[in-house]
């Protein structure tokens, strides 16, 4: 079976791994010119056992079996692990794909016909709108402002960050509708980073709208060119009373020596995942608030779903896709329900129309 996968982020690479291991001839087309091991923010939840089954080898971090006990997972490290499971040349960087041809039963990329095409190019996929579902993601009313800094920039460390491994519940500090989720993440290059996701209700008129084809994890690293004047006063006002001021100390270090990147949160669940021989997976099929800690996890489950659908040994592609579509729709809708429940708590009870500008809540 000859398979084209559009998108080389986590979902695309996970699908490439499972299909390659089932004997398919796989080509991954990624528009970015370079690899992603140095990109992205922290992932909410990583099922290490599932990842290892997808790739077929152990996931190691700094010479030890990877686990949440070591700290949160950096997107770039998970990406690199998935990438390492593929033969050289399968992922073709610098290859943007804006069409799969006119026949959904015979999808094409650059004039080459494939028996199966997988759309995995993110929540702002242009291919999804063209072939599967023309609806667009809906803004939730809040954004997650990612802050990060190398631990080396904070001599003596931050005890409140150091202890918060593997649980977004115990690492969360809330003040009304505003949350701070703190993490420490060891990287496979031996360094460590402190990170915090600030969930901040924000009017849609004040957010940076995503671009077509955006990868959410890469988008999350697009730092503000200049941190807004309201941001530090906002953090001091809402989170200064927690853990002896360590959240404020961390944020000050991230502003001066690290990165602050706003990431508006949108939600989406596709109405179907299959059209002919074209399949939708990952963020292209389902977008959720990071508060669910399940976006990347659900993308991995999509890959496992593909493996289950095609594992039978008989290459009846259409029947396999019918099987996949049922599970794919269920996963997308389940994640959306979970996300909407989380998002409602992060904006005023009156709804998105009542979201105040964060800049109006503090003096600066």
Q: What angle separates helix 10-21 from helix 295-310, to the nearest 10 degrees?
A: 20
Please say whether the dihedral angle defined by the alpha carbons of residues 274, 116, 19 and 91, taken in this order, is positive or negative. Answer: negative
pLDDT in tens, 214-250: 666 555 557 788 999 999 999 999 999 998 899 999 9
pTM: 0.91
Look at the chain and count its residues: 364
Distance CA 95, CA 110 (A): 10
Look at residue 213 in the predicted model and tell me its pLDDT: 66
Tell which phi-psi region holds residue 131, choosing left (phi > 0), alpha (psi between -120 and 50) or beta. alpha
Look at residue 218 in the predicted model and tell me its pLDDT: 57
**Percentage of residues of the chain with pLDDT beyond 90:** 74
Q: List, in order of start, the domains of the chain with CATH numbers.
A: 2-49+73-136+267-344 (3.50.50.60), 140-265 (no CATH)
Ranges of the chain whose pLDDT falls below 70:
44, 162-170, 213-221, 312-314
The set of residues, in sequence order, having a beta carbon less than 8 Å from that of 200 and lying 6+ positions away, is 142, 143, 144, 145, 178, 234, 358
Look at residue 349 in the predicted model and tell me its pLDDT: 96
Which token pair is 77?
């490290």
pLDDT in tens, 171-188: 789 999 999 998 877 777
């Amino acid at each position: 079976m000859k398979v084209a996968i559009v998108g080389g982020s986590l979902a695309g690479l996970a699908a490439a791994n499972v299909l390659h291991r089932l004997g398919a001839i796989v080509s991954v087309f990624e528009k970015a010119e370079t690899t992603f091991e140095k990109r992205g923010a922290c992932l909410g939840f990583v099922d290490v056992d599932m990842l290892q089954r997808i790739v077929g080898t152990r996931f190691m971090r700094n010479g030890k079996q990877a686990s949440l006990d070591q700290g949160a997972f950096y997107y770039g490290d998970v990406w690199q692990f998935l990438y390492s499971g593929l033969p050289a040349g399968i992922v073709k960087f610098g290859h943007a794909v804006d069409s799969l041809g006119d026949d959904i039963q015979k999808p094409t990329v650059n004039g080459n016909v494939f028996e199966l095409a997988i759309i995995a190019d993110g929540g702002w996929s242009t291919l999804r709108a063209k072939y599967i579902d023309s609806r667009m993601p809906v803004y939730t009313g809040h954004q997650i402002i990612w802050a990060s800094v190398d631990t080396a920039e904070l001599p003596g460390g931050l005890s409140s960050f150091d202890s918060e491994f593997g649980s977004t519940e115990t690492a969360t500090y809330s003040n009304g509708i505003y949350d701070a989720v703190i993490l420490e993440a060891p990287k496979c290059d031996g360094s460590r980073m402190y990170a915090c996701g600030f969930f901040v209700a924000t009017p849609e008129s004040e957010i940076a709208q995503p671009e077509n084809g955006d990868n959410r994890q890469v988008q999350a690293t697009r730092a503000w060119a200049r941190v807004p004047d309201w941001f530090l006063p906002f953090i001091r006002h809402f989170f200064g009373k927690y853990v002896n001021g360590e959240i404020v100390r961390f944020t000050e270090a991230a502003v001066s020596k690290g990165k602050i990147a706003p990431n508006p949160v949108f939600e989406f669940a596709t109405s179907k995942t299959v059209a002919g021989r074209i399949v939708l997976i990952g963020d292209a099929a389902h977008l959720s608030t990071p508060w669910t800690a399940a976006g990347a996890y659900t993308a991995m489950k999509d890959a496992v779903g593909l493996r289950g659908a095609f594992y039978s040994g008989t290459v009846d592609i259409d029947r396999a896709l019918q099987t996949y579509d049922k599970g794919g729709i269920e996963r997308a809708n389940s994640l959306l329900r979970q996300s909407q429940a989380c998002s409602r708590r992060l904006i005023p009870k009156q709804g998105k129309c009542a979201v105040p500008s964060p800049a109006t809540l503090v003096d600066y």
